[in-house]
Amino acid sequence: MSVIVQKFGGTSVADLDRIRNAALRTKAEYDRGNDVAVVVSAMAGTTNQLVQWTGEAAALHDTREYDAVVSTGEQVTAGLLAIILQEMGVSARSWLGWQLPIHTDSSHGSARILDIDVQALRQRFGERQVAVIAGFQGLSAENRITTLGRGGSDTSAVALAAALNADRCDIFTDVDGIYTSDPRIVTKARKLEKITYEEMLESASLGAKVLQTRSVELAMNYGVRLQVLSSFSETPGTLVVDEDEIVEKEIVSGIAYSRDEAKITLRRVADRPGVAAAVFGPLADANINVDMIVQNISQSDQSTDLTFTVTRSHLDRAVAVLEKARPEVGYEKLKADEDVTKVSVIGVGMRSHAGVAQRMFATLAERGINIQVISTSEIKVSVLIEEEYTELALRALHTAYGLDNE
Ligand code: ADP
Ligand code: ASP
Ligand code: MG
C-alpha cells in the first residue's frame, strides 16, 4: 500500500464532467488500496476572474483581502470533487488550508509554505477516507488566509507529498508531460521521459509554467518523486528525477520563454563608482526584482547606457522609483519597453560543452532577430528579443539544437 498525492490543474477540473473524470483517476488509486490525497486548482479561468475583480475594485488594494478573494476558487472544486467521490461510493472530505492547517509566512499573494499538519489526514487514511485539499492556499501566523502565487497548487501538492512522505506526486494537467519546449507553440516539441530537478527548476523559473518554480525546488530538496501527466489520457507522463537517474544526458534539454519581462534603459548615466548602487538600491528597497543587466560601453564623455529587465507587472512601480531617484543617479532619459520576450536555452550538459551560446547567437542572427540583452548561468543562456519574434526564435532554436520530433 502506498501514499499517493494527486494534483488536478484548472483545465482538469474546468466543469463537472472533468471533475468526474478526475474523480475516476482518484478512485482508481483508492481501489488499489492506496491512501490518496488530492489537491485541486480552481476551475479554469476562475482565478483570473477573481484577480481581475480585485484590481477593478481598487488598483492598489490590501493584499490580505486579495488573498481572501482569490483563494475561493479552490474551495468550490474541493467541495465538488468530494461530493462526486462520495457519489461514486468513495469516502472523501474536503479540507481548506486553514482546516489542516497549511502554515505559511505572511507574504500575501506569494506566501511560502512553512509546514503542514498532516495528523488529521493520516487518521482519515486509517479510516479509508480520501482527502481532497484546496490548493494554492494556506494560513498565516496572523490567522489570515494566504495564497502561494499563480500556479501555486503545484506547490501545495509537492509540499503535501513531502509532509506525508508520499510514494508519488502526480501532477495531472492538459499536456501529457514535460516537453523540450512549450508544445502549444513549438509543434515539433518532443516529450521527455525524464528531466532532472535542476533542469526543470531552471525551465520553470525561466517561464515554463507547466510546474510552479517553488514546487520543483521543494521536490528537489525533499526527494519527492514527481510526475507530470495528462488527466485526459492514459499515457505515461514525464518523471522529474535526480541527475544520476538519467543515463543519456543531452547538452540542451529544453527551450523556455517568458513574456513576463519588461526592459528599462537609462540613457547617459554618469560612468562613476556608486552609480549601479544608486540605481538598483532603490529598486531592491521597493521589492522590485531586477533580472538581466547590461551596461553599454562608456562613451567619450564619461557616460554610459544602462539596460536591465524587471517583472512586467512591476514596470510602472520601477519607473516611478527611478524617476524619484533621478537626482542621485543623474541619467538623461528613461525608456521603458514591454514588447520583449526572454528566450532561454537550458541543459546540464552545457557544463562540459562549449559552443552552446554561440549556436544560439548564430541561429538568431540568421533569422535577423536582434539580441538586446544576454545573461548566462552554468546551465542556461538567456537572451532578450523583440516580442513579435518569440515563436520564430523558439522554433528556430528548437531545430538548431536538434530537438525536433522527427
Ligand atoms: P494547470 O492548469 O494544469 O496547472 P498550466 O497551464 O499551469 O496547467 O501548465 C500547463 C501548460 O504549460 C501547458 O498547457 C503548456 O502550454 C505549458 N508549458 C510551457 N512549457 C512547457 C513544457 N516545456 N512542457 C509542457 N508544457 C509546457
Ligand atoms: N488557481 C491558481 C492559479 O490559477 C492556482 C493554480 O491553479 O495552481 O494560479
Ligand atoms: Mg499550473
pLDDT tens, 325-337? Answer: 999 999 999 999 9
- Closest residue by Cα to atom 6, ligand 2, is 151
Instruction: Establish if 317 belongs to a structural domain.
Output: no
pLDDT at 301: 73
The mean pLDDT of 99-120, rounded to a whole number, is 97
Q: How large a percentage of the chain has pLDDT more than 70?
A: 99
Task: Select from 178, 199, 185 the least CA-distant residue to 394.
Answer: 185
pLDDT at 243: 87
pLDDT higher than 70, residue 299: no
CA pair distance 285, 292, nearest whole angstrom = 18
Domain housing 126: 3-174
Q: Which atom of ligand 2 is nearest to the CA of 151?
A: 8
The mean pLDDT of 125-144, rounded to a whole number, is 98
pLDDT at 72: 98
Contact 92, 105 (CB under 8 A): no
Instruction: Establish if 268 belongs to a structural domain.
Output: no
Q: Identify the CATH number of the domain in which residue 158 sits.
A: 3.40.1160.10
What lines the ligand 1 site, CB under 6 Å? 9-12, 41, 151, 173-175, 178-179, 181-184, 208-210, 254
Give the contacts of 234 (CB within 8 A, at least 6 positions apart): none
Separation of 14 CA from ligand 1 center, angstroms? 15
* 4-60 residue pLDDT tens: 999 999 999 999 999 999 999 999 999 999 999 999 999 999 999 999 999 999 877
CA pair distance 263, 256, nearest whole angstrom = 18
In the numeric block, which cell numbers belong to residue 68? 481572501
Instruction: Establish if 117 belongs to a structural domain.
Output: yes
Domain total in the chain:
1
pLDDT at 348: 87
Instruction: Establish if 108 belongs to a structural domain.
Output: yes
CA pair distance 42, 12, nearest whole angstrom = 10
Instruction: Establish if 232 belongs to a structural domain.
Output: no
What confidence category does residue 273 fall into, taking pLDDT thresholds of 50, 70 and 90? Answer: confident
Ligand index nearest the alpha carbon of residue 151: 2
Instruction: Establish if 100 belongs to a structural domain.
Output: yes
Instruction: Establish if 248 belongs to a structural domain.
Output: no
Ligand index nearest the alpha carbon of residue 47: 2
pLDDT higher than 80, residue 298: no
What confidence category does residue 338 fall into, taking pLDDT thresholds of 50, 70 and 90? Answer: very high
User: With b meaning 16 or more CB within 10 Å and e meaning fewer, what string describes 117-128?
Assistant: ebeebeebbeee
**Cβ of 73 less than 6 Å from ligand 2:** yes
pLDDT at 254: 95
pLDDT higher than 90, residue 354: no
Average pLDDT, the chain: 95
Instruction: Establish if 234 belongs to a structural domain.
Output: no
353/59: higher pLDDT: 353
- Residue 140, CA distances (Å) to 67, 111, 113, 350, 405 in order: 11, 9, 9, 41, 46
The mean pLDDT of 285-303, rounded to a whole number, is 84
Angle 46-57/72-87 helices, nearest 10 degrees?
Answer: 150
Peptide bond into 101 cis (omega under 30): yes
Contacts 24+ apart (CB under 8 A), 24-28: 24/88, 25/172, 25/231, 26/81, 26/85, 26/90, 26/130, 27/85, 27/88, 27/90
pLDDT higher than 80, residue 247: no
pLDDT higher than 80, residue 65: yes
Contact 78, 133 (CB under 8 A): yes
